[in-house]
Chain A
Amino acid sequence: MAIRWSLLVRRTHKWLALAVGVQALLWTLTGMYMVAVHIDIIHGDNLVRALAEKPFDLSRLAEPSQVVAAAPGASEVRLQRYFGAPVWRAETPGGPYLFDAATARPLPKPNEAHIRALARQIYTGGGQIASVRLLTEAPQEMQSRKPPYWQVEFEGWNRPTLYLSPATGELISRRHALWRVFDFAWMLHIMDYDERTDVNNPLLRIATWSTFAMAAMGAWLLIWSFPRRKRKKA
């Protein structure tokens, strides 16, 4: 009786493996990549400089109430730096705006030269800027963010790319080759080939449970696989 069971399980293990084999291989391959390359490197933490915290001199600043008056609907006004000088950044329903912190006058949006200078200031690497573009359509790698934004590409094997806000020149995001590989691996891992975000898609659910059944049967087969050393090839 027991032998019959083992045969049935062996057959099912084999046929399930035929169905999910490629995906199981992809899961281990992509999983290996995702655990081997540290997530901080993937996030590109080493590509950007942390800004030095210099204290602000509050006595030289315009009152934030002036900024609130100048930026109707503002939900938050924040003191930060722009080319080293203090600025008020107002978050409004129409996006963020910068104001000169001393006069509360609105600042013009950064032009391409400003963006180049800001990107250079942020980027830690030594490579030259390869291209600067103002994007109005989101590339695949920025699907989670709404355009427009400046895309600044640097030279280098990993093609580091910074995305800066057209309104404030702030860093929105950074991408590089290892991130792009990770994103592709993630897509293969969760089997959502369009948006790369849906971890509940039916294909994934079927494939994961089938793989679980396949693995569980494989585990059971181990019981028969060791005591008798000599077995005929299946």
Chain B
Amino acid sequence: MKKFRLTPLFFRRVHKWVALILGLQFLLWALSGSVMALLDKDKVGGHGGGMSHAHPLPAGDYAMLAKLPNGEPVHGLVLRDLGARPVFEIHSPKGVELIDATSGEHIRVDQDMAREIASMMNEAPIRSVSVLSKPNLEARDFKGAMWRVDFADDENSSAYVSLDTARFLVMRGDTWRTWDFFWMLHNMDYVNRKSFNHPLIIFVAFGALWLSGTGFYLLFKSFSRADFRWLRRRRKPVVVTRSAG
């Protein structure tokens, strides 16, 4: 290598060396992409679209606004249903308070309520219930304290219910857990599994661009007329196109 020339040999060397350094990640991208394409997206779930059932609010008696606790400035107020009963959700700088809209009494989101709400989403028997002071990896898209309700079904489903608002947050099952492991391999955020915009992945993606770019170029150098003779023997002249589907 006395003189630097852009020969096929040079590109072959780039291809080899980039592959040596970043090839493992390229392989992992191909593998995790393959697995994610294989896992049924409906079983993975968790993407877009709330699954909550909306019941019409009963017309009738509600606690007067004046009866609501008024110690804190109110930044938001929502009247909604919780199971069958209407509730007020009061948002203040201190957090969210849940009030029975008929009696005006404070509601504590206890274990029984978490079970009841989770059971609206899954009919399987409940295996265990636990409380989380902050979201775990499975419920990372949400904030605050929450109940985790584990079901005894094939998917080992876990429902997450907000401790503040009693809203159903998300359901996670084993298919999602498998998907999430491969998603982690894909996005290379091994701690939070969430970001795909960090310096490591940008660096490796840039390298992979060289791997695929040189590989693509080498396709033109690696095939000769002889490679396609088997096609000609069978039919009249055929133009071979590179198809990626």
Residues of A within 8 A of B (CB): 14, 17-29, 31-32, 34-39, 53-56, 58-59, 61, 63-65, 68-69, 72-80, 91, 93, 144, 190-191, 198-201, 203-209, 211-212, 214-216, 218-219, 222, 225-226, 233-234
Q: Give every chain A residue within 8 A of B209 (Cβ-Cβ).
A: 28-29, 32
Contact A59 B66, beta carbon cutoff 8 Å: yes
Q: Give every chain A residue within 8 A of B79 (Cβ-Cβ).
A: 64, 68, 76-78
Q: Give every chain A residue within 8 A of B59 (Cβ-Cβ).
A: 65, 68-69, 72
Q: Which B19-44 residues sit within 8 Å CB-CB of chain A?
A: 19-20, 23-24, 26-27, 29-31, 33-34, 36-41
Contact B215 A79, beta carbon cutoff 8 Å: no
B204 to chain A: closest residue by CB: A35
Q: Give every chain B residue within 8 A of A18 (Cβ-Cβ).
A: 219, 223, 242
Contact A64 B65, beta carbon cutoff 8 Å: yes
Residues of B within 8 A of A (CB): 8-9, 12, 16, 19-20, 23-24, 26-27, 29-31, 33-34, 36-41, 48, 54-62, 64-66, 68, 70, 73-81, 195-197, 201-202, 205-206, 208-209, 211-213, 215-216, 219, 222-223, 242-245
Contact A75 B27, beta carbon cutoff 8 Å: no
Residue picked from B39, B41, B54, B244, most chain A C-beta under 10 Å: B244
Contact A19 B244, beta carbon cutoff 8 Å: yes
Contact of B24 among A93, A190, A219 (CB under 8 A): A219
Complex: A108 Cα to B13 Cα, angstroms = 69
Interface majority SS on A: helix, strand, loop or mixed? helix
B207 to chain A: closest residue by CB: A28
Contact B57 A68, beta carbon cutoff 8 Å: yes
Q: Knowing that A68-B59, A222-B16 are A-B contacts, what are 18 other residue pairs whose CB atoms are under 8 Å apart, sorted by A's residue number?
A: A18-B223, A21-B219, A23-B245, A25-B212, A35-B197, A55-B73, A59-B66, A64-B65, A69-B59, A74-B56, A75-B54, A78-B76, A78-B78, A79-B74, A199-B37, A209-B34, A219-B27, A233-B9
Q: Give every chain B residue within 8 A of A32 (Cβ-Cβ).
A: 205-206, 208-209
Contact A79 B55, beta carbon cutoff 8 Å: no
Contact A21 B16, beta carbon cutoff 8 Å: no
B40 to chain A: closest residue by CB: A200
Q: Give every chain A residue within 8 A of B197 (Cβ-Cβ).
A: 35-39
B33 to chain A: closest residue by CB: A208
